[in-house]
Amino acid sequence: MDAFLLQLAAGIATGGIYASVALAIVMIYQATHHVNFAQGEMATLSTFIALTFIQAGFPYWVAFGATLAVSFVMGALVERLIMRPVQHAPILTHVGVYIGMLLIIGNLTGWVFGYTTKVFPSPFEGGGPMFGGLLSAHQLGSVGVTLAVLVLVYLFFTKTSLGLAMRAAAYNPRSARLVGIRVDVMLALGWGLAAAIGSVAGMMVAPIVFLDPNMMLGILLYAFAGALLGGIDNPPGAVVGGFLVGVLENLAGAYIVGTELKLSVALVIIIGVLVLKPSGLFGRVVFSRV
């Protein structure tokens, strides 16, 4: 029983990471109807930037904040410089650009920071195991940070006028222009926000899995599974989906398939959702008349 609870708790902890990345994916999907395959590599690059700040001697939370800012600018620049010129191009162009970005950002990260695996510090060290040994201090802290980010993002989108404008621009760009919203600015802001959310996920997962240029590859897959499971057009659904995938992955790894095959759980979920319930658990079913 204790072992089960332990796996459950660990699943919730990693699920929080998947939930953040899933949210980043869904935010961009809502605005562009494309999945940014490079979301994970962008987060890895952000995490390396965070490590650089920390090694330069900045206190952890200063480095954390600076990384959010840098990631935000990086995301907005990717939209402006790379995605904007192809925004009316066919879908295959977009897929090509995303895969190209995935490879280029990944290799750039490796080239600049090296391919050796690095230790990444946690701000929650030294507390010892919590809840009768169920969670390490870092796991608990990272769940806390993840939840705080998700709540802030939720409040931003529902309570602020800028958040409302960003949702309006994503749902219906044509109408958004008619009320005076600058849709292209909203799109760049959305990319920036998604990159910043991804960077939080990177900084929270790096102390657990260690930092290397391919760190987010598997995580992106789990996050994508979470986004699909929750409904790719539903941000709160994607968050719930991310947590579910984290728990499922851990339980399946412990009791069913073993740790070697854990990643295939994500693939099974992706294929299962697409075949059985393409709209996901909380997604909208869109009917179109022909």
Q: List interacting residues with another protein (CB under 8 A).
A: 161, 164-165, 167-168, 171-172, 174-183
Considering the complex, what minimum distance in angstroms separates the CB of residue 110 from another protein? 41
d(Cα 77, Cα 104) in Å, to the nearest integer? 15
- Burial classification of residue 196, based on how many CB atoms lie within 10 Å of its CB (0-12 exposed, 13-18 middle, 19 or more buried): buried
In 3D space, the residue among 78, 9, 24, 6 whose CA is nearest the CA of residue 219 turns out to be 24
Considering the complex, what minimum distance in angstroms separates the CB of residue 179 from another protein? 5
Residue 278 tokens, joined: 């393409």
Considering the complex, what minimum distance in angstroms separates the CB of residue 91 from another protein? 21
Q: What is the CA radius of gyration of the chain?
A: 19
The CA dihedral of 271, 274, 279, 283, to the nearest 10 degrees, is 20
In one-letter notation, the amino acid at residue 34 is H
- CB of 210 or CB of 284, closer to another protein: 284
Considering the complex, what minimum distance in angstroms separates the CB of residue 19 from another protein? 22
- CB of 63 or CB of 183, closer to another protein: 183
- CB of 1 or CB of 179, closer to another protein: 179
Considering the complex, what minimum distance in angstroms separates the CB of residue 181 from another protein? 6
One DSSP character per residue, 95-142 reads HHHHHHHHHHHHHHHHHHH-SS-B----TTTTS--BTTTTB-HHHHHH
Considering the complex, what minimum distance in angstroms separates the CB of residue 283 from another protein? 13
- CB of 70 or CB of 183, closer to another protein: 183
Considering the complex, what minimum distance in angstroms separates the CB of residue 27 from another protein? 15
- CB of 181 or CB of 211, closer to another protein: 181
Considering the complex, what minimum distance in angstroms separates the CB of residue 235 from another protein? 12
- Burial classification of residue 47, based on how many CB atoms lie within 10 Å of its CB (0-12 exposed, 13-18 middle, 19 or more buried): buried
- CB of 68 or CB of 170, closer to another protein: 170
- CB of 56 or CB of 286, closer to another protein: 286
In one-letter notation, the amino acid at residue 161 is S
d(Cα 286, Cα 10) in Å, to the nearest integer? 36
One DSSP character per residue, 227-273 reads HHHH-TT-HHHHHHHHHHHHHHHHHHHHHTS-GGGHHHHHHHHHHHH
- CB of 184 or CB of 267, closer to another protein: 184
d(Cα 144, Cα 151) in Å, to the nearest integer? 11
